[in-house]
Chains A and B, each alone.
Chain A
């Protein structure tokens, strides 16, 4: 107890260290948490529309509904209107926008040529600044997605127009040809008219008339089926998603669990490892363990310090997160269990680290070098890497408390976060394992 108070006193005497220890993980955790909980922002794209006003895409002799290109594209990206190609290029070059999209004046004409004997390929122009590979990939993905959506939109409109024309053939109606309305009889009415004429036709010619009636009926029935087929051509494949695992918590809850686990990892690991190494640096370890405190009790005190600090900082962070995301405070008891178990496991790992590395600077460096990659590896989902690599990642992340701490926090925060028993058992095993490792490492702790 006195040692714990002493460590808190030392922490209080180092305000910068205390602030950094608390603020740094919280800020980092919140940044990471919110980065993965938010949709990517809309990219800024310079937009130049050179299509003459009133231009329409024609299909099968009619004009489609106005495409509304500006509205549709600018609904998916943040459009920055520009007046010329030079202005568009300048904006891309300066990095003000991710890319520039230019709809040339002849785009509609080229689209219309698709239904003629001399089709031309419609083109939109894109100006990009692929200054680094990551940006190049982002730009390519965005453009591909935008063009895919535009193509789908046009295909749907053409398919709809085709379906309407087919309906006209089957059921009849009015049709404009160069501004002149034309009455189309339609197969259905044609068959009806022919059946009505049957009695007026000489008997010898009736079989031939019957054959025409049968053709009209068959064509009507089969073309009825063709209409939905044409519709499907516009979007031949649709997704039917089936989830094989239990329901998962919302993304923002998972993000908070990640933030909490990261916070605890940094605070607890660094504090316990650093505090233990400080006992050696201050030369107090032999004095303490010479009958005043047992080595196990000293380890227990350090882990207790880590749990207390981890609990305080994590609860503070959760209270802060409440501003942005609503948390289920009725599960507070489970939060405590998850935080305490995670803190104990991370504290034990910190004690093992501190007892092994012994030097405060080496301990701090090692804590970061171990924690960051393990935390990142723990977030790699199955299927994102090869099976053997994923197996290796699972083994590596299983021997460090971050992943079970994350699982325990996810389970504690949300009913859909999975069972908490497994992660708690995992953490319990790690507490014992790292505790033993720390105790063994303390045997040579004082040695130079």
Chain B
């Protein structure tokens, strides 16, 4: 876990209830600048709820969130774009809404970053899912956030598109942007996440590196120690009663 003094984002004892159901049960999270954190867990674990609260989309019923160093960018699971506008028109609209001093300059920067300069005049609806997701992320970056939240960014992408997406995300982190992403793909979390936060039924079960998670599995279930990361993860959940 990162030190509080240098944290890019801190969340303490987050609680969220939907009627009788508790979606989050006192979750803590502290993330350092430039860190890549994967949030994993089974369906209904509370991953999207956690990211929505961190993004400010959903109000928590308890706990608090702070990002002392600046803006938190958010990229929803489904691309939030106007499909009948071009790539450039989408970026320009959100740059203007972000009240950038030089919106056209920001658009050029994002087109460069997403490698979509040559497709700037294409209608978004005609782009592949992977390219739409890149624009989706680029819009999230327009506010120049210190923390970027990605909610299951690789859903619906083919392996090639996924590889390009993660290359793009890794490059962001290298430039100092803190990235927190949720995913169902355990191998993806192991490969790209420097840290892994495991949620199940709204509880935080584990917060550490993938290596530390394997260690925890070996201690709890020695029979699963030699298996792949996904099997180890499932075994870990079973041993924790989920």
Which residues on A are within 8 Å of B, measured CB to CB?
Answer: 2-3, 6, 9-10, 13-14, 282-284, 286-288, 290-293, 446
A9/B85 in contact, CB under 8 A? yes
Beyond A291-B56, A292-B97, 8 additional contacts (C-beta under 8 Å) are A3-B97, A10-B82, A282-B83, A283-B78, A283-B81, A287-B76, A287-B80, A293-B97
Q: Which of B76, B80, B81, B89 contacts A9 (CB 8 A)?
A: B89
B5 beta carbon closer than 8 Å to chain A = no
CB within 8 Å for A283 and B85 given contacts A2-B96, A293-B97: no
Choose among B78, B85, B98 the residue that contacts A292 (Cβ–Cβ < 8 A). B98
Q: Is the CB of B93 within 8 A of A6?
A: yes
Q: Which of A283, A293, A446 contacts B79 (CB 8 A)?
A: A283
- Establish whether residues B82 and A284, one from each chain, have CB atoms under 8 Å apart when the complex forms: yes
How many Å lie between the Cα of A185 and that of B79 in the bound state? 109
Segment 78-107 of B: residues with Cβ below 8 Å from A: 78-85, 89, 93-94, 96-98
Query: Given the known A-B contacts A282-B81, A283-B78, A286-B57, are A13 and B94 also in contact in the complex, defined by CB atoms under 8 Å?
Result: no
Quick one: which of B74, B78, B83 contacts A290, CB cutoff 8 A?
B74
Q: Do residues B57 and A290 form an inter-chain contact, with CB atoms below 8 A?
A: yes
Closest Cβ–Cβ distance, residue B57 to chain A (whole Å): 5
Interface presence of B139 (CB below 8 A):
yes
Closest approach, in angstroms, between the C-beta of B81 and any C-beta of chain A?
Answer: 7
- B224 interface residue (CB < 8 Å to A): no
User: Do residues B97 and A290 form an inter-chain contact, with CB atoms below 8 A?
Assistant: no
Bound Cα distance A290, B98 (Å): 11
**Once the chains bind, are A13 and B78 in contact (CB under 8 Å)?**
no
Q: List 19 A-B contacts (CB under 8 A).
A: A2-B97, A3-B93, A3-B97, A9-B89, A10-B82, A282-B81, A283-B79, A283-B80, A284-B81, A284-B82, A286-B57, A286-B80, A287-B80, A288-B97, A290-B55, A290-B56, A290-B74, A291-B56, A292-B97
Whether a CB of chain A sits under 8 angstroms from the CB of B65 is: no
- Give the complex CA separation of A291 and B94 in angstroms: 12
Residues on the A chain within 8 Å of B78, using CB: 283
User: Are B84 and A286 in touch, CB under 8 angstroms?
Assistant: no
Q: Which 3 A-B pairs have the closest CB atoms?
A: A287-B80, A283-B80, A292-B97
Residues of B within 8 Å of A9, CB to CB, are 84-85, 89
Shortest CB distance A415–B (Å): 45
Chain B residue nearest to A12 in the complex (CB): B84
- Distance (Å) between the CB of B152 and the closest chain A CB? 13
Query: Is B155 engaged at the interface, CB distance under 8 Å to the other chain?
Result: no
* In contact, A14 and B84 (Cβ under 8 angstroms): yes
Task: Tell me the smallest distance from the CB of A15 to a CB of chain B, in Å.
Answer: 11
Q: B123 contacts the other chain (Cβ, under 8 Å)?
A: yes
Cα separation A127 to B93 with both chains bound (whole Å): 70
Q: Which of A3, A13, A293 has the most CB of B within 10 A?
A: A13
Q: Are A283 and B98 in contact (CB under 8 A)?
A: no
A282:B57 contact, CB within 8 angstroms: no
Task: List, in ascending order, chain A residues with CB within 8 A of B76's CB.
Answer: 283, 286-287
CB distance from B76 to the nearest CB of A (A): 6
Q: Is the CB of A287 within 8 A of B139?
A: yes
Q: Smallest Cβ distance from B60 to chain A, in angstroms?
A: 15
B66 to chain A, nearest CB (A): 16
Complex alpha-carbon distance, A446 and B40, angstroms:
24
Question: Smallest distance from the beta carbon of B88 to chain A beta carbons, Å?
Answer: 12
Residue of B whose beta carbon sits closest to that of A289: B57
- Contact present for A287 and B74 (CB under 8 Å): yes
- A288 neighbours in B (Cβ, 8 Å): 97
Smallest CB gap from B96: residue in A: A2
Q: Is A2 in contact with B74, judged by CB distance below 8 angstroms?
A: no
Q: How far is the CA of A288 from the CA of B123 in the complex (A)?
A: 20
